Structure formats: C-alpha cells, structure tokens
Amino acid sequence: MSLSGKLNVGFIGLGHWGPNLVRVFSNHSDCSIRYVCDLEKSNFKRVEKLVTDECIKTTRTEVLFESSKLDAIVIATPASTHYPLVKKALQAGKHVFCEKPLTLGWQQDRELCELAEKSGLILMVGFTFLFNNAIRKIKEMIEENRMGQLYYLTATRTHMGLVREDTSAIWDLAPHDIAVMNYLLDAVPERVSAVASSPLGLDNPDVSFINLFYPDGILGQIHVSWVDSNKERILRVIGNKARVVFNDLDGLEPLKLFKKRIGVEATQEEINYGDFKSLLRDGDIISPNVQLQEPLRKIADSFVHVVRKDAENISDGVSACNVSSTIIAALRSIEKSGSPEKVEQ
C-alpha cells in the first residue's frame, strides 16, 4: 500500500462478529475488501451486500496468505484459532487486525508481538472499548484530575452467554475490562486474585470475580458471567473528588459524573458519629456530552491510520500481552482458591 493508496484487506471469520468488521471496513473510503474467508460457505451470504462482485470468497485461508494483492488481514475466528492464523498472516508479510483475545497464552502473544515488530508489520487487537468515546472521556477526566486521587474501579459484564466452546467467560469477556482499566490507569496490575465457578457444568469457568492490584494502591474488580439473565455493561471509577459511571446499555446518558464525595480532608474532631454527615461533600451530578460514534468505525479508521504510520496503535500486541498475563495470573489464582498471584511482565 502506498501512503496515499487504498489498503487492500482480507477477512477471515464471518460468524457472529466478523460481518460487523466487514461492514465498517467496507464503508471506509481508504479500504478495498479483496477477500473474505470462512470455513462455512453458507456464511458468505452474511456479507454479500457489503462486498463487491470482485471480492473473492474462499474457504481456504492460504489463498489470503499467498495473495500478493493483500496488505492486511482481519481475523474474527474463535479465540483458540487466533495464534496460528495471526502467525501465518504475519509470516506472509500482512498487517493484522485480530479480534480479542489475541491468543489464549501470554507467551504466544509475546511471540506474535516480536514477529510483528521484527517484520515491521502492524498488529492491532480488537479491544473495542478503547475506541468508545465514553471511555475516552473518562480518560480525559482522569488526566484533568476531575476525579482526584483514584481509589478503585469496578466493571460488570454479565448476560446469558454467548457461551463459547473453546474458551471461558474469563477469556471471552474480561479482556475488554482489563484493557480499559490498564488504559485508564496507564498501568498493569501487579497482582491478581480471582475466584470462578462453572454452574453450566462446562470445562471452563462461566462466572468469575477478579480482583486487580494496581500500583499506588488502586484496586480494580471485574465480574464476568455467562449465566446472569440481567445484562449489565457497567464501569465505575471512584476517586476522592468524584465518581464516574459508564453504562454502555444506556443510550441516553451513558456517562454520569457524580461530584459527591467523602471529605477525606476532615479534621480529627469531625470524625465522630454525630458529625458524620458533615463529612459528606455534596455536589452536582453531570451527564457529560459524549459524541455517539460507533467504536467499530473508529477501530477501522484507526487501523488504516496506524498502518500508514500517522496514528498511535493504542490497542497493540503489547497491550494484548498485558491483558493475557493478567488473565493467566487470574487463572493461577483460581486454582489456588483466590490467593494473589503476580502478573508476569
């Protein structure tokens, strides 16, 4: 691809999610979709209105790897297939956008990062929420010190399924929240403690509570579940000046800033039961204006710019390694009934 030319893209995986990626890339004026690939021929109809007649449909991934027409490959297959597919794509000299989680292993993530780096290729991972304007707004608030000193973050990601056979609710759901917390705090947890259960009787956990110990005493807690009939997508960030709540399912007011707080600056004399109420500092509840924009469109645009080297890759292989090393530590902790485990760096 020349710096001004179109990016020639191929897609592997046209299941539930892949067609969404085909849609946003097909709407991007700087992209041409040259190939779509899925093991199931019947899935081609999911994208037939999104691609041109010239776009080649194949069930063989090798066709994409061997093509001299392709600059980049987008991978949206089950997590357990990512490692070999990403590796082959990079070895074939293609830039790669791979859905989360990059692989199911920290060492494998590292190997792919090194391969991309050595080959001068872009590796970007689908941590969709890093491209959500509400998350960007929270980052801005933290950087402007509107939250004050951060105490902790909590995230809830529950629903009934979608149950995946090749992985667990932890690998499937928690990468989003770990990636977001790492991004907001610009840090990686030092230790993790987690518990999990498998009420569905699967081999892998479908429910988990994960505690993250970040530097400076900041805590994170993530609850993921495939068995909860209540769908929740909520992130809370609690600081000493304010609390912010992001509810991804609230289309009207997804973000709310509560400028209420506990008066930590209270004098010793204030701290007695009678005066307790005076420690509560009341304040406004603000619903910041968040420009509604589909995160996936921003991902496609960001990928094009990152390949052209005119944007930072905020969702790169290193961020994927940081997510997977955190999950590996959580899995070790689960085996030890929740004892804190170090996150390898």
Cα–Cα distance measured from residue 124 to residue 179, given in angstroms and rounded to the nearest whole number: 13
Cβ atoms of 123 and 113 within 8 Å: the answer is yes
CA dist list (Å): 279 to 122, 258, 262, 263, 282: 51, 16, 6, 5, 9
Q: Within positions 257 to 316, which residues make up the interface with ligand NAD, using CB under 6 A?
A: none
Name the one range near ligand NAD by CB under 6 A: 11-19, 89-97, 212-220, 246-254: 11-19
CA dist list (Å): 25 to 84, 96, 97, 128: 23, 13, 11, 15
Least distance in Å: CB of 191 to ligand NAD? 26
Cβ atoms of 11 and 76 within 8 Å: the answer is yes
14 binds ligand NAD (CB under 6 A): yes
User: One symbol per residue from 158 to 177: x for binding ligand NAD (CB under 6 A), - otherwise; what is it?
Assistant: --------------x-----
Least distance in Å: CB of 37 to ligand NAD? 5
C-beta of 19 vs 220, nearer to ligand NAD: 19
61 binds ligand NAD (CB under 6 A): yes
C-beta of 101 vs 220, nearer to ligand NAD: 101
Strand 72-75, strand 95-99: pairing? parallel
Least distance in Å: CB of 145 to ligand NAD? 30
205 binds ligand NAD (CB under 6 A): no
Q: Within positions 71 to 110, which residues make up the interface with ligand NAD, using CB under 6 A?
A: 76-79, 81, 99-100
Cβ atoms of 147 and 237 within 8 Å: the answer is yes
C-beta of 81 vs 240, nearer to ligand NAD: 81
58 binds ligand NAD (CB under 6 A): no
Neighbouring residues of 257: CB distance < 8 A, sequence distance ≥ 6: 141, 146, 242, 243, 244, 285, 286, 287, 288
Look up residue 144 and give its two tokens: 């402007």
C-beta of 72 vs 79, nearer to ligand NAD: 79
Least distance in Å: CB of 144 to ligand NAD? 28
128 binds ligand NAD (CB under 6 A): yes
Strands (E), 15-168: 31-37, 56-58, 72-75, 95-99, 123-126, 150-160
Residue nearest to ligand NAD (CB): 15
C-beta of 18 vs 220, nearer to ligand NAD: 18
User: One symbol per residue from 16 to 45: x for binding ligand NAD (CB under 6 A), - otherwise; what is it?
Assistant: xxx------------------xxxx--x--
Residue 288 neighbours by CB distance under 10 Å: 16
Cα–Cα distance measured from residue 118 to residue 315, given in angstroms and rounded to the nearest whole number: 18
62 binds ligand NAD (CB under 6 A): no
Name the one range near ligand NAD by CB under 6 A: 9-17, 66-74, 207-215, 320-328: 9-17
Phi, psi values for residue 332, rounded to 5°: -65, -40
Residue 76 neighbours by CB distance under 10 Å: 22
C-beta of 40 vs 143, nearer to ligand NAD: 40
Cα–Cα distance measured from residue 297 to residue 341, given in angstroms and rounded to the nearest whole number: 37
Residues that bind ligand NAD (CB under 6 A): 12-18, 37-40, 43, 61, 76-79, 81, 99-100, 126, 128, 172
